[in-house]
Chains A and B, each alone.
Chain A
Amino acid sequence: MDFDWSVIWQALPELLKGARLTVLIALAGLAGGLVIGAAAGLARAYGNVVLNAIAFVYVELIRGTPIIVQVMFIYFALPILANVRINPLAAAIMAIIINAGAYIAEIVRGSFLSVHRGLREAGLALGLPFWKVLLYIIGPLAFRRMIPALGNQFIVSLKDTSLFIVIGVGELTRQGQEIMAANFRAVEIWSAVAMFYLIMTGALTLILRLTEKRMRIL
Chain B
Amino acid sequence: MSIVEFKKVTKRFGQVTILDQVDLSIEPGEKVVLIGPSGSGKSTLLRCINALEEINGGDLVVDGISVKAGGRMVRLIRQEAGMVFQQFNLFPQMTALENVAFGPRRVRHEPRQEARKQALEMLAKVGLADRAHHYPSELSGGQQQRVAIARALAVKPKLMLFDEPTSALDPELRHEVLRVMQALAEEGMTMIVVTHEMAFARKVGTRLIFMEGGNIAVDGEPRELLANPQNPRLKEFLQHVA
Residues of A within 8 A of B (CB): 116, 118-119, 121-129, 132, 136-137, 140-141, 144, 216, 218
Contacts and interface: CB of A to CB of B under 8 A. Distances in A.
28 contacts: A116-B89, A118-B87, A119-B91, A121-B52, A121-B85, A121-B89, A122-B85, A122-B90, A122-B148, A125-B52, A125-B78, A125-B82, A126-B82, A126-B103, A126-B106, A126-B155, A127-B75, A127-B76, A127-B78, A127-B79, A127-B107, A127-B155, A136-B102, A140-B93, A141-B92, A144-B93, A218-B93, A218-B137
A129 B71 CA distance: 8
Given A127-B107, A127-B155, A129-B75, A118 B89 contact: yes
Nearest to B91: A137
B166 interface: no
A122 B106 CA distance: 13
Contact of B102 (A121, A124, A126, A144): A126
A6 B91 CA distance: 59
A125 B106 contact: no
A62 to B, nearest CB: 32
Contact of A124 (B52, B82, B90, B137): B52
A124 B155 CA distance: 12
B50 interface: yes
Interface residues of B, number: 26
Interface string B100-112: 0011001100000
B19 interface: no
Contacts of B82: 125-126
B79 A126 contact: yes
Interface of B: 50, 52, 75-79, 82-83, 85, 87, 89-93, 102-103, 106-107, 135, 137, 148, 151-152, 155
Smallest CB-CB A-B distances: 5 pairs: A127-B79, A122-B89, A127-B78, A118-B89, A125-B83
A127 B77 CA distance: 8
A128 B107 contact: yes
A134 to B, nearest CB: 12
Nearest to B47: A121
A118 B137 CA distance: 16
A218 B94 CA distance: 11
Contacts of A124: 52, 78
Contact of B78 (A126, A137, A144): A126
Contacts of A140: 93
Contacts of B52: 121, 124-125
Nearest to A138: B91
Nearest to A140: B93
B89 A128 contact: no
A122 B91 CA distance: 8
Contact of B50 (A119, A125, A129, A136): A125
B5 to A, nearest CB: 20
Q: Name which of B75, B76, B77, B155 has the most chain A CB atoms within 10 A of its CB.
A: B75
A126 B105 CA distance: 11
Given A118-B89, A218-B93, 16 more contacts: A116-B89, A119-B89, A119-B91, A121-B89, A124-B52, A126-B102, A127-B75, A127-B76, A127-B78, A127-B79, A128-B107, A140-B93, A141-B92, A141-B93, A216-B93, A218-B137
